[in-house]
Amino acid sequence: MSLIFECPINSLSFGNVSYNILRELYKRELKIGMFPIQEPIDAQAFDIPQDFQLWIKSALENRWKLLDREAPALKLWHLNGSDTFRTTNQTLFTFHECSDPTEIEIAIAKNQKRIFFSSSYSQEIFQKAGVECEHVPLGFDEDFHIVEGAPKTDQIQFGLMGKFEHRKRTEKIIKLWLKRYGNNKAFVLNLCVTNPFFKPEDMNMIFSNVLGDKSYNNINFIPYLRTNKEVNMFMNMIDVDLTGLSGAEGWNLPSFNASCLGKWSIVLNATAHKDWATEDNCILVQPTSTISAVDGVFFTENSPFNQGIFFDWDEDAFNNALDIAETKCRQINTNGVKLSKQFTYEKTTTRLLSGLGLD
């Protein structure tokens, strides 16, 4: 049994999902031909055992030998860029955040032999647009783990991860947090929000604008973390995660992983969050409004891709969630930890292989 697998390998979300699916395919001793998206591959985020490395090397070397017109193929990528095919039997696994599928997105989705979305939100909006599709949840990365004896302080440590984006409400989160806690040394905000698609000087200007050229003694700017080992330490260090306040996600790996590690994540009850976040395993915030997806950078007006709205929340909802977080942050989020067993990449891969007819 063999499979063509086309995917990116890098330190971003798509690369992490690809790596975890590859690991599951390796465990099953499946013979694959691997076609990397965006060569050369960037595997520095992962601590790869030698046997797994050799398997990946073989998958790369044998890709052309296994390539066949009717071979089952799995592509993990954006809709934008998935109009090309390695075989006629291609299944696409993709993430989508926006509310209004465009004509081109619908056409690309319909042109796949099968298509899986990472969230039921995306599945629903594409089904309404006439696309036959399914929803396959992501899983908890087994490389992440609770670090016993991780450094702790008397301060309450907040964390915000992910690319600095309008969609993720990064600027709004930082400004409102500083309005409430700025220069209060009992609380610390740890920011790991460098956007690798921006130049360093542009990021510095963005941070300066967000701070309003003021100085704060309780905010830490963490450089872009390139390895999962560093990411794991960051998540173990914090008490409360703010990443879940993003206005639209295809899953939200940082918020989900932090919850699985027993942290309390403040999560907007919208889009993909609704597939895993509940009142029992996080601090839910209800949307109070919507905003245009257009940011002029990643989401542009009248583009053939990524159109619609994102969900938003107001200051009162934000502060109410912080009130709850202050009472919970010293307790282990035991229901969050249970998510790591409920959602696994073993289950993700089984669902994908079943859809491909390879179960």
pLDDT digits 0-9 by tens, 156-185:
999 999 999 999 999 999 999 999 999 999
Angle at 294 between CA 290 and CA 300, to 5 degrees: 155
Q: Tens digits of per-residue pLDDT, 34-85?
A: 999 988 899 999 999 999 999 999 999 999 999 999 999 999 999 999 999 9
The SS3 of residue 274 is helix
Whole-angstrom distance, CA of residue 159 vs CA of residue 300: 29
Query: Looking at the structure, do residues 201 and 320 belong to the same domain, yes or no?
Result: yes
Domain of 246, CATH number, reads: 3.40.50.2000
pLDDT for position 153:
85
In the predicted structure, residue 151 carries a pLDDT above the cut 80: no
| Phi, psi at 87, each rounded to 5° | -140, 175
Is 209 domain-assigned?
yes
What token pair was written down for 146? 């609770």
* Burial readout 315-340 (b: 16 or more C-beta within 10 A, e: otherwise): eebbeebbeebeeebeeebeebbebb
Is 147 domain-assigned?
no
Domain of 93, CATH number, reads: 3.40.50.11930
Average pLDDT over residues 191-208: 92
Query: Looking at the structure, do residues 93 and 169 belong to the same domain, yes or no?
Result: no
Q: Calculate the alpha carbon distances from 292 to 287, 299, 306 in Å.
A: 14, 9, 11
Query: Looking at the structure, do residues 324 and 270 belong to the same domain, yes or no?
Result: yes
Cβ atoms of 274 and 121 closer than 8 Å: yes
Name the pLDDT band for 2 (thresholds 50, 70, 90).
Answer: confident
Please state, for a pLDDT cut of 70, what percent of the chain lies above it: 100
Query: Looking at the structure, do residues 172 and 131 belong to the same domain, yes or no?
Result: no
Is 151 domain-assigned?
no
Query: Looking at the structure, do residues 60 and 125 belong to the same domain, yes or no?
Result: yes
Cis before 137? omega within 30:
no
Whole-angstrom distance, CA of residue 297 vs CA of residue 312: 19
- What is Dmax (Cα atoms) for the chain? 63
Domain coverage including residue 201: 156-342
Give the mean pLDDT of the chain: 96
Query: Looking at the structure, do residues 337 and 351 belong to the same domain, yes or no?
Result: no
pTM of the model: 0.96
Beta bridge partners of 307: 100
Is 86 domain-assigned?
yes
In the predicted structure, residue 141 carries a pLDDT above the cut 90: yes
Sign of CA dihedral 50, 54, 55, 60: positive
Measured between its terminal Cα atoms, the distance across the chain in Å is: 10
Of 269, 185, 226, the C-alpha closest to 12 is 226
Query: Looking at the structure, do residues 53 and 195 belong to the same domain, yes or no?
Result: no
Please state, for a pLDDT cut of 90, what percent of the chain lies above it: 93
The number of beta carbons lying within 10 Å of the beta carbon of residue 40 is 7
Average pLDDT over residues 262-268: 98
Report the domain count for the chain.
2
Average pLDDT over residues 256-278: 98
Query: Looking at the structure, do residues 351 and 335 belong to the same domain, yes or no?
Result: no
Query: Looking at the structure, do residues 236 and 292 belong to the same domain, yes or no?
Result: yes
Whole-angstrom distance, CA of residue 41 vs CA of residue 43: 6
Query: Looking at the structure, do residues 309 and 161 belong to the same domain, yes or no?
Result: yes
